[in-house]
Structure 1
């Protein structure tokens, strides 16, 4: 049986593709969409009309050499770019179809729905492990009972792959954990506010191989329940953890942009642009 997708229409209520013959297929949902996003720091333009669809429940890796705008783009996805006094941007960023930069949207709304894990672990060092996990609740105005709080701490530490290592010392300072444990604690802290999307900016760059493996296992466990976007310079990591990749590049002083994006297997096995092939195979960058 052949399916004519060219004549298919989308049912907006059920998010399916309806074929000419009446057969319905599930449509890929996009948790986030960037549309023609450009970015500046002062007069320096760092991104040029970047558009990217981020599928829901998948891991999308942003790859490319240093200085091509990957981390800037990631910060634009949860309104952190605007914290820089000289920063400016154009374009749209949609979360489930709604522009997070709409003047009627509060920045706390974006931060609650779109979590962020940074390159360097940043737990509150003097705060206990359990208090670190729930620290974001106060910032977003969420109140929970003591019982619910304990359950939430266990749930988030379990999902971050850390519960068995710290369950007997929850009142110990978060700053006393190893680097890899601190990074997973930061992941647990992000999960506590129930984000729909989790952004990760080189979360394993400062970690040893064992800690890296555990963070990657955490990413794999989160996939499906949430959308993950990760910036990484490690091509093996991108190939291991992601479902889709976007290759960023800035050439000869021009602003960064996306050369190519698509399923990870295709990006590594059969890229359509020679520059992508050269990068993923280590011939530059």
Structure 2
């Protein structure tokens, strides 16, 4: 793949119904860093248009699994992977698939807000277009900036200062700017790695409200250590666990309410009720 590939803004792709909502499925994912196995035969279906929460103690492979879902795992020189990640039935790791296509379809929001500090708010939103070689005229860009900032729950706060530096926003605003930036390339899945862990309760509430609204048009997968957050925002939940010296596995997964109110595994019950982890 070369860096000068250019495309036009794509239409909403066909997928699970007219909305284009996408199902993401991991099949028998095993992952290594060098000789250390960090995940062992993890399989999980993340339903279209839902919010799937990945929970579990630190070091059990949740964030690694999340990064595998949009091919970030392979950026680590020692990383290896077995298994498949299917977006509407097509393996994103198929050798015939371009990396840029996976990144356009499956966006990522990180734990620490990472706006480009030298760029304005407007430039931050549009940055993904440059990185993916997408062309658009000024009018289209203006519409995209407003649309994405609205979806990110930030438009009313910044509409009069779009040329101000993105790095000058508060932490919660920066995280919402990063969400807006991810949405600009029209992903079908949005991955979120502890997006509220560094935020105050008010900012966390706004981010959660944003997620619930976005789930109507994009499939969301979130890693969180906050059990209350998982219960509030997710429709599905997967509990990861790694025994001492062993790779991470999924102990239990299913509908969130059932996982919290009637878990099938005692280890799940202990974790969601704060008895360990």
TM-score by length of 2: 0.92
State whether structure 2 residue 133 is matched by structure 1 residue 141: yes
1:63 & 1:253 partners in 2: Cα distance?
Answer: 19
Aligned residue number for residue 172 of structure 2:
180
2:106 & 2:198 partners in 1: Cα distance?
Answer: 23
1:104 & 1:213 partners in 2: Cα distance?
Answer: 41
State whether structure 2 residue 264 is matched by structure 1 residue 257: no
Aligned residue number for residue 88 of structure 2:
96
Q: Which has the larger radius of gyration?
A: 1
Given that residues 67 and 250 in structure 1 are in contact (C-alpha distance below 8 angstroms), is that contact kept between their aligned partners in structure 2?
Answer: yes
Ranges of 4+ aligned residues in structure 1 off by more than 3 Å: none
2:95 & 2:207 partners in 1: Cα distance?
Answer: 36
Q: Report matched runs for 1:158-173 at 5 Å.
A: 158-173=150-165
- Check 1:218–1:38 CA distance in 2 against 1; reply closer, same or farther (3 A cut): same
Structure 2 unaligned blocks of 5 or more: 1-14
Given that residues 236 and 255 in structure 2 are in contact (C-alpha distance below 8 angstroms), is that contact kept between their aligned partners in structure 1?
Answer: yes
TM-superposed CA distance for 1:139, in Å, is 1.1
Aligned residue number for residue 237 of structure 1:
229
Match of 1:151 among 143, 148, 152: 143
2:59 & 2:22 partners in 1: Cα distance?
Answer: 27
Greater relative contact order (CA < 8 Å, ≥ 6 in sequence): 2
- Check 1:15–1:229 CA distance in 2 against 1; reply closer, same or farther (3 A cut): closer
State whether structure 2 residue 101 is matched by structure 1 residue 109: yes
Q: Report matched runs for 1:1-285 at 5 Å.
A: 31-285=23-277
1:195 & 1:61 partners in 2: Cα distance?
Answer: 18
Given that residues 123 and 186 in structure 1 are in contact (C-alpha distance below 8 angstroms), is that contact kept between their aligned partners in structure 2?
Answer: yes
Aligned residue number for residue 11 of structure 2:
none
Any idea what the Cα deviations from partners look like across 1:123-166, whole Å, max 9, x if unmatched? 00010000000100011111111011001000000000000000
Given that residues 16 and 23 in structure 2 are in contact (C-alpha distance below 8 angstroms), is that contact kept between their aligned partners in structure 1?
Answer: no
TM-superposed CA distance for 1:15, in Å, is 7.8
Given that residues 132 and 174 in structure 1 are in contact (C-alpha distance below 8 angstroms), is that contact kept between their aligned partners in structure 2?
Answer: yes
2:158 & 2:105 partners in 1: Cα distance?
Answer: 27
Given that residues 30 and 53 in structure 1 are in contact (C-alpha distance below 8 angstroms), is that contact kept between their aligned partners in structure 2?
Answer: no
2:121 & 2:103 partners in 1: Cα distance?
Answer: 22
Q: Paired residues, what number?
A: 260
Report the aligned-residue RMSD: 1.3
The 3-state SS of whatever aligns with 1:134 is helix
TM-score by length of 1: 0.90
Which moved further from structure 2: 72-81 or 252-261?
252-261
